[in-house]
Structure 1
């Protein structure tokens, strides 16, 4: 009986309407038709009075609603003796809320699934080897945890087990399991594979990726689209046309029933329900693609974007240097040069050091231990490796160790590149070139944006002009602005003439410009919470191409909402014309009205999927693919 109590609590007027209908049916069957008419008519007029009061309040607040059609239709059908038709209209009004809730529930299922999956407990591994369940909020960095098969990783951490296949679809939209090995970072919200694993927490629950995403999703699911105000704008002419047709039908035919019959089919529900359902479906689809749209207004603005602005570092480029060339001297193999450099750099905290070490390990090279490590901060580092004195660093640092810059082999660098030199036993051994590489998807993103109607693209960066020009040419943006401080980026976005403007960035320094853009898009939620909080849209992974996908989803959502309104209004106008000629009795019209509502709602739900010619969506947030291998052991 739980469902009955829930129905009574949430939709009491629906049950009351059904009860009145049952009572009227019993009275009519018992031969008390007149009493039944009075009971049904009185109830209908009472509901109309309640709706009228609410309508007056809305008018006083400056909002023009469309309930006037329903109220007028109820009164008109009661006056002409069509009390059953009046009751059907009342059922439409009272049941419309339940119908909208059901449709919106379907539309937001990916958002709801993400919220429902938020972990509440964690399995803490104690020093004696026992496992104790603790509230996830009690987990602290450094705690060792056990994640059982099929469970959600409760907090961000590092993997201690040998390997683990994880489903990260709820975070990234990627359907295939991702293989992680010892030492790899684990994101909270990922779903463990078929074997238990051990991990070490690196953040509390509040500071972890999943809780941050859940907060964004909750904000998105509770928002309402300013676009729904379009319904009010359509309502004014729609109401006027309906009253005009109804009045003309009465005047020409001389039959007041025609007035009621026309208004019965002038259903307002396509305007009331279709738009919010379409927008919730669009936001749900975005979530399924790893994109959190915080509110419906942002989704509408995405559909109208005319200028796209991008930060460079970490957005159009990867944001960290990568080894792009290894140039040894005097016959030294390239892999050996890289291995020696990485063997020294493994002891350095410099950002370039990790890139060199990563490049060496990615090639399968075995690093040697170093002795007597000495580092000159910001310049270079030296150590004894395999019996050799190896120095790695800037040209001037290495030159000082080999006896002068004349003995350093020059390296030709392209804009955005830098060289790290290497000396072995006091002899220049070669150089390693690094660069912040342009993302492979950046050019496709800019091309796709133009196809979606974006007329102007611009790159804003704090880098020098030569580097900025190199990246701008590589990705195909229309213009770039170099040497920009955060305040310069804000001024540049404010001055862009072709609006709305979408700004895509990823770092803390991007937070101000994301806030002033018409649509701020933060890329990579695990990066900067400041950028994510100031943005309207958050892309959960480092994939700039999803900015274009977000605009495509905005286009699709707005188009479907407009189509749903057009279909509902069009069918209603056709039915009104038929009713004006006496072809649709009031009771039949009331039934047809429900079919119109259902048609428009089903059409609005089409926003949850791609349209014709659009690329297929990424994995659904609720999909849990079975890992192809079970590599993890606790």
Structure 2
């Protein structure tokens, strides 16, 4: 039986045949050098090097015919030149650099895309479906249908979106949201596919199929992300053109001035552009991996490059700057009644309604620990209100015209962004419950942080009324407000914005067109619509507006690291070229030094997996905002 190490070596040989052949040629050449006829080692090594030149040369010609610069042109020329001048060992080292560079890039990309591939590896294949009389049957996950009951054992991945039927359970949602701590859910809470059950088995009622569940949507986004190539990487390829020209001119000048053809080969050996070519892809894959670990799926590497240059951020209001669901802002009873009493009566009637405002009133009563009374003879009139007998009183809840006015107690006028639900008891006006679409606690901090990241203009695009939009914009510090817009109006507005690139953030079905037309569209994916998610270039898996800043910072960090790695490679190669031109750097030594340059550039590019100093400083501010957000949520639960 083969050991794991033996299997690993066999796999490496199959994945990197040219590396294996180069090393084998070096071994054979060494033996011939020591024990074979004179010149046999040179013949064997030179022949192998020329075979590699032919193979790489064909690829280079194909690239040129396709209109793409052959990025390994210098390496091919340096191998040919060193063979011609008799520096066959230097030629073999350059062959190792060419073949080994691909292996290093693959290895570095594997490390960089660790978070992305982790999502794919955890994709559930089977599920434990509850059958009749409590039996369990293991079925393929694509056979699960809504309303099926599924058991998830400890440590297993939840296969489909559903509602928790177990009294309480904890889940690891780090692969979905980036939240490192276990998240506790209670009976009736939604549970996302892709989360991992804690220490106890849990029962879940499916609300979607596997294909339409959250995790499968993320899987598709990840596959798109892995298949992409950034414009910046193509830019790096173009930077190699002037570098090649300079290297050839310097090599030719060294040969002409010295009269020694070896100088030409020595300069080209240290002029290979592998650091420049490898650094950018590794940096971008590292950035995409880091984004995934922070709960942001970036669909294409090019999106990261655009994120680094964002100058305008446009935001939807409802569901993006606000929570997108009404909450009770204030309870205003008439004199002689308490706020708790008024809310209890209103919620006792509204518990029988499916209206969003009714649900908000009932939720507020539960949060305050108010026990609801049963209602009798419940009647609901669409778009007007509802009435019922509660504790022996006739209670009406709804519009003012529905419940009736009282000249002695004028109903309060709702403020900007508020709506009033009025209550009458036994035919007399009893008070008003004011509701509002609550502002996200992190919204203001996010806008401040975006400006700190270089964003010059912030714009709100909303279909709401001007007064409501202005009220929200003033609270968070939006520069430009566009209200009363239809979906097409939003598209036109984004197209006309002058300071580009433009990042559009939204979450609803009506945001899908504008997310598609923006330079970068970012969807709030945790509660956003499928249409918005599919139209966007990036998806914040966690329902947190602050992820917008994180995405911009990661884009900036990625591009900065990529340029640094490229500059490092060009700088070191240029220095070595100058030394080689003077004749003080033998070809063999130069080839090994160039290997070191390649490795240094790859290691530098991997720094994109870690935050920079500016992000660390802004992270402290973000943690303070998170504590403020938690405090705000606590106050809402216990006012």
Other structure's SS at 1:614 match? helix
Q: CA deviation at 1:408?
A: 5.5
2:626 maps to which residue? none
Contact 1:525–1:532 under 8 Å retained in 2: no
Contact 1:209–1:526 under 8 Å retained in 2: no
Given the two structures, how large is their TM-score scaled by the length of structure 1?
0.95
1:510 maps to which residue? 511
**Quick one: distance in 1 between partners of 2:584 and 2:220?**
53
Summarize the alignment of residues 562-601 of structure 1 with structure 2, pairs less than 5 Å apart: 562-601=563-602
Other structure's SS at 2:614 match? coil
Contact 1:160–1:183 under 8 Å retained in 2: yes
**Quick one: distance in 1 between partners of 2:65 and 2:187?**
64
| Structure 2 segments unaligned to the other structure (5+ residues) | 1-5, 624-639
The answer on 1:116 being equivalent to 2:128 is: no
**Quick one: distance in 1 between partners of 2:439 and 2:402?**
29
Other structure's SS at 1:305 match? coil
**Quick one: distance in 1 between partners of 2:236 and 2:176?**
34
The answer on 1:175 being equivalent to 2:180 is: yes
Other structure's SS at 1:436 match? strand
Other structure's SS at 1:603 match? helix
Deviations 1:97-131 (A, max 9, x none): 11111000000000011111111111112221122
**Quick one: distance in 2 between partners of 1:367 and 1:127?**
36
Summarize the alignment of residues 262-281 of structure 1 with structure 2, pairs less than 5 Å apart: 262-281=267-286
1:539 maps to which residue? 540
The answer on 1:34 being equivalent to 2:35 is: no
Other structure's SS at 1:224 match? coil
1:475 maps to which residue? 476
The answer on 1:24 being equivalent to 2:29 is: yes
Summarize the alignment of residues 213-292 of structure 1 with structure 2, pairs less than 5 Å apart: 213-292=218-297
Q: 2:318 aligns with which of 313, 317, 326?
A: 313
Deviations 1:566-620 (A, max 9, x none): 001000011111111222111111111111001000000000110012135999x
Summarize the alignment of residues 47-86 of structure 1 with structure 2, pairs less than 5 Å apart: 47-86=52-91
Contact 2:505–2:524 under 8 Å retained in 1: yes
Summarize the alignment of residues 456-467 of structure 1 with structure 2, pairs less than 5 Å apart: 456-467=457-468
1:105 maps to which residue? 110
Deviations 1:347-406 (A, max 9, x none): 10111011111111111111121111100011101111122211111111111xxxx563
Other structure's SS at 1:419 match? strand
**Quick one: distance in 1 between partners of 2:332 and 2:447?**
34
1:632 maps to which residue? none
Residue range with higher mean Cα deviation, 410-419 or 101-110: 410-419
Residue range with higher mean Cα deviation, 269-278 or 63-72: 63-72
Given the two structures, how large is their TM-score scaled by the length of structure 2?
0.94
The answer on 1:210 being equivalent to 2:190 is: no
1:523 maps to which residue? 524
Q: CA deviation at 1:136?
A: 0.9
1:337 maps to which residue? 342
**Quick one: distance in 2 between partners of 1:73 and 1:123?**
60
2:430 maps to which residue? 429
Q: CA deviation at 1:526?
A: 4.0
Other structure's SS at 1:437 match? strand
Deviations 1:273-313 (A, max 9, x none): 10000000000111111101100111101111111101111
CA RMSD in angstroms, aligned pairs only: 1.5
1:159 maps to which residue? 164
Contact 2:315–2:506 under 8 Å retained in 1: yes
Residue range with higher mean Cα deviation, 137-146 or 557-566: 137-146
Q: CA deviation at 1:10?
A: 2.1
**Quick one: distance in 1 between partners of 2:154 and 2:338?**
46
**Quick one: distance in 2 between partners of 1:434 and 1:283?**
40
Q: CA deviation at 1:31?
A: 3.2
Q: Relative contact order: is structure 1 or structure 2 higher (C-alpha 8 Å, sep ≥ 6)? A: 1
Contact 2:406–2:429 under 8 Å retained in 1: no
The answer on 1:383 being equivalent to 2:384 is: no
How many residues are paired up?
615
Other structure's SS at 2:562 match? helix
2:139 maps to which residue? 134
**Quick one: distance in 1 between partners of 2:377 and 2:409?**
24
